Structure 1
């Protein structure tokens, strides 16, 4: 597959060069121009015989023009088909392994993940229709009680769970209730409304939300409220220094962006009213912001040039706001369905290769609940460490968790009990002895 990539790149370059609609668009414009000229000539003349003559003369040019457009489109279509054949040759269709589907017994959880993804992405109408149809389908199919292994409760009094079922709901048919979906829809609509304000350089709604949830953010150790107020202060000062309008465009006297005013009263007033509550944790940063105003008229050549840099500040804060908003709902910042699908796509080529190798050797994949090999994932998808027992050389699981011995060494729980003689054991890495009840389970 890798050997075919250089050829595919050349084919793709040929598509970009040949499969362009510029010629077809120009030919269509030429036809429109001829038709407009004919209409103007007929309207200006007023003679029906002259109009008939003009239309007669126009038939052949228009016919030739349509033929030229069709030829242009045929060339584009031919190039696209050739590239499609090249893709088929380089990436032949391979049947996917379907002997074991780990999610086959959990259709409700799959539907819930899809509905949650649609809600998180702001596709509220699509999510509502999907959930209605999922409930209708579940109501006419046999249902069974589903007890998820774990669930993340949303931090609210509403009867809502993210990755499990509602406490009052035990059947697949009612896995995602309308009240739950409406609650989440209201929350995410509020989130997208605030994100839209941040995109428009209006931080008021985001600051108000952070203040309403300041206690919860404080418990998480989040600096979101201060970062929002900090950017609001910088934006006020920068707007007054360089005459920025609401869209963030500079309204300057010349092309070099010279300042149009130095009245920082609004910025100072904002700092005086809102920064006092942050002085315990962020006094040094507040002092730096105050000092930067001295150089505001020439900030780009000052030691505080980075303080007033806002090129990506609003985008970064929007990402931080989304992360904190979802965290307070008990949700991850990224859609679990997107992460799972992306990780699966990365692992799929290795899985197909592994299945092909085992079939050729007439062996079977016996690890039904886990991957038979390690799949390298990007750093953004590395959420926790994986512990491998140094004694058994096996990866720990929920049924065989890692445990910490009194001496500080860590083993798998099964390895510890295999080493123990009755209730006593000796650490395999040091001379310390202890009791099995003194071993503590640890979590990564």
Structure 2
């Protein structure tokens, strides 16, 4: 079979590479040992003699010994065997796989509206609203607003989150509560957790506790450990920056999570062309 011949050729390359690498490493180790011995001899000669010593005989002896111990043709032979095995492997690859891209081509009919919808969604999802509008007009779309508004809402919510305003995101999460549950998403819990910590940051421990009773109790049965961690923040109310709950990092993570969740929920909208 073709795959068997490919594997055999590849295994030969691996074997030759290991052999070549091993011999080269052995040669390097031997050279290093000999050089270290010569350096020690030269240092001893310099120590024993007050005058400058002639190291030429020792260096000449080292050169001759290295040439005898690790001849260059031996290393070249190992590399040559590896190159031969690699060359044969490449030939087997060429015989096994066609390089003619036309053979992989299939004549598939695409609906123009589907392709246009994918491209327009991409532009709007990236926040390139002017470019998306231009594209919709160029492809003959009649209602880009239907496609654009949800993404404008998403970016508006993200902008609010950057200013630590979580109300728009919480409203969106409440409206999409069932979908988030179906996807086992923790986004709604993260948003309420951040809001809880925000209230606590402003120094209102009682308000934070009341918020937890109102909005976090429903998550306790599934996310007990997370809720317990949040409740521990009450102890750190006057020094929350030292709390194990890292607020800034959580904001960044939650923004990314919201962008993924809200973006995916809008991907099903289609361009009306």
The alignment's TM-score, normalised by the length of structure 2, stands at 0.54
CA distance in 2, matches of 1:102, 1:114: 22
> Out of 198, 205, 229, which is 2:168 matched to?
205
Give the helix-richer structure, 1 or 2.
Answer: 2
1:195 aligns with 2:161: no
Report the RMSD for the aligned CA atoms in angstroms. 2.7
Question: Are 2:123 and 2:129, in contact at CA under 8 Å, matched by a contact in 1?
Answer: yes
Correspondence 1:24-63 to 2 at 5 A: none
**Out of 170, 175, 190, which is 1:227 matched to?**
190
**Are 1:313 and 2:238 matched, yes or no?**
no
SS of 2:248's equivalent?
coil
Equivalent residue number for residue 65 of structure 1? none
Q: Tell me the equivalent position of 1:182.
A: 145
Contact 2:151–2:266 at 8 Å: present in 1 too? no
Structure 2 residue 91 is the aligned partner of structure 1 residue 127: no
Give the Cα separation in 2 of the matches to 1:113 and 1:102: 21
Residue 110 of structure 1, CA deviation? 4.4
Q: Are 2:121 and 1:116 equivalent residues in the alignment?
A: yes
Instruction: State the 1:112 CA deviation.
Output: 3.5
Contact 1:103 1:110 in 2 (8 A): no
In structure 2, what is the Cα distance between the partners aligned to 1:103 and 1:133? 25
Alpha-carbon offset, residue 217 of structure 1: 0.9
Q: 2:134 & 2:106 partners in 1: Cα distance?
A: 26
More contact order relative to length (CA 8 Å, sep ≥ 6): 2
Q: For residues 233 and 324 of structure 1, do their structure 2 counterparts lie closer, same or farther at Cα, with a shift above 3 Å needed?
A: same
Q: 1:103 to 1:320 in 2, by over 3 A?
A: farther
Q: Is residue 327 from structure 1 mapped to residue 268 from structure 2 by the alignment?
A: no
Distance 1:318 1:101 in 2: 41
Counterpart selection for 1:218 from 162, 172, 181:
181
For structure 1, the residue ranges without an aligned partner over 5 or more in a row are 1-96, 136-176, 241-262, 332-444
Aligned CA distance change for structure 1 residues 326 and 276 (closer, same or farther; 3 Å)? same
Structure 2 counterpart of 1:269: 210
Distance 1:300 1:128, change over 3 A: closer
Residue deviations 1:164-201 (CA, integer Å, cap 9, x gap): xxxxxxxxxxxxx434x322211111111111111111
User: What does 1:374-389 correspond to in 2, within 5 Å?
Assistant: none
User: Tell me, what secondary structure is at the counterpart of 1:281?
Assistant: coil
Residue in 1 that maps onto 2:224: 283
Shift of 1:101: 7.4
Residue pair 1:194, 1:206 contacting (<8 A) in 2 also: yes
Contact 1:229–1:274 (CA<8 Å) still a contact in 2?
Answer: yes
Please tell me whether Structure 1 or Structure 2 has the larger radius of gyration of its CA atoms. Answer: 2
Partner SS state of residue 222, structure 2: helix
| Mapping of residues 143-158 of structure 1, within 5 Å | none
| Alignment-derived partner of residue 296 in structure 1 | 237
Offset, 1:319? 0.9
Give the C-alpha shift of residue 299 in structure 1.
4.8
What displacement does 1:265 show?
Answer: 2.4
